Amino acid sequence: MKIQNKYETTKNLSFSSAKNILQSARDWDKFYASNIPSSLELNPVIFNYIRPEDKILDVGMGFGKTIFDLVKRGYRNLSGVDTNQSGIVFAKETVRNFNLEGNFKFLTGNANNLPFENNSQNAVITQAFWTTIVDNEARQNVINEINRVLKNKGVLYIADFGQTPQIQKYRTRYETGRVKGYDYGTFEVINEKSGELEYLAHHYTKEEFSKLLMNAGFRIENYTISPVQTRSGNVIDGHTIIARKISEINKD
C-alpha cells in the first residue's frame, strides 16, 4: 500500500479544487497539537452503531480527542488521519505516555487520498471536519474515499456545523462570503489579533449533506439537528448524521 504525503492529492481533482483543499489543509496547519480547535463531543447516538471490536477511522482527527474518548469507552482498534502533523505526533505521544491499550494507527495524510486499504474499516468518524472542506469537488472526492475504505454496510458518523441564518451574525457571514465569491454558507474566519485570514469554514444545510451522502452510496439512518457550540463560543445548529455504506462507488 502506498502511504501518501500529506499534501499529495491526486484522485481526479481539477487543478483549482486540488489547490483549494491543499490551501485549507495548510491553513489548519497553523494550529499546534492540542490547540487544534475541537469544540464538539461525540453524540451518544454513535454507540448504537459501533462495537468495541470494530475498526474505526477518525478522518481529520486533530490531536486525537475523539480517539481518546473511544479508548476510555473500551474501543481498541482505532486509526486516524490528519494533515496537521503536530496533532498526529501529539496523539502518538499520548498513547505512549499513558500506555493506552489498543491497536493504533495515526497517519499524517489528506482525506482526499486516504492511506488505508479498500473495505478495511467498520466505521469512519468525521467530527468538525467537513466544515474545513469548502470546495464542492474536493468534498465529493473525500466522500468517495470514505466509501472506498469502509466495509460494505460500514457506518459513517458526521457531526458538523449547520447553516444558521436565523442568527443575524451568521447570516451576514454567509452573505458576505457569497459576495466574495464563495458558496453560500462559506465564510472567512479572521484572527481577531492579527486581522489575518485564519481559514475558510463552511456551514451545511441538511440538503447538502443528504445529497453528498446519497450520491456517494450511503443511506442515512439517523439525522438530528441540535444546538452546538462553535470554537468562538457561539451556539448554532449542529448536524449529527449516521449513514451506512450501501454501495461501492470508487475503487481506482
Number of residues that bind ligand SAM (CB under 6 A): 25
Which 101-130 positions form the footprint of ligand SAM (CB under 6 A)? Answer: 110-112, 127-129
The whole-angstrom separation of Cα 151 and Cα 161 is 27
CB atoms within 10 A of CB 162: 20
Q: How far is the CB of 38 from ligand SAM (least distance, A)?
A: 3
Q: Which is nearer to ligand SAM, 37 or 165 (CB)?
A: 37
Q: Which is nearer to ligand SAM, 35 or 246 (CB)?
A: 35
Q: Which is nearer to ligand SAM, 236 or 246 (CB)?
A: 236
Q: Quick one: cell of 67? A: 480517539
Q: How far is the CB of 63 from ligand SAM (least distance, A)?
A: 7
Q: Which is nearer to ligand SAM, 65 or 173 (CB)?
A: 65
For residue 56, state whether it binds ligand SAM (rule: CB under 6 A). no
Which 24-53 positions form the footprint of ligand SAM (CB under 6 A)? Answer: 24-25, 28, 36-38, 40
Q: How far is the CB of 127 from ligand SAM (least distance, A)?
A: 4
Q: Which residues bind ligand SAM (CB under 6 A)?
A: 21, 24-25, 28, 36-38, 40, 60-62, 65-66, 81-84, 87, 110-112, 127-129, 132
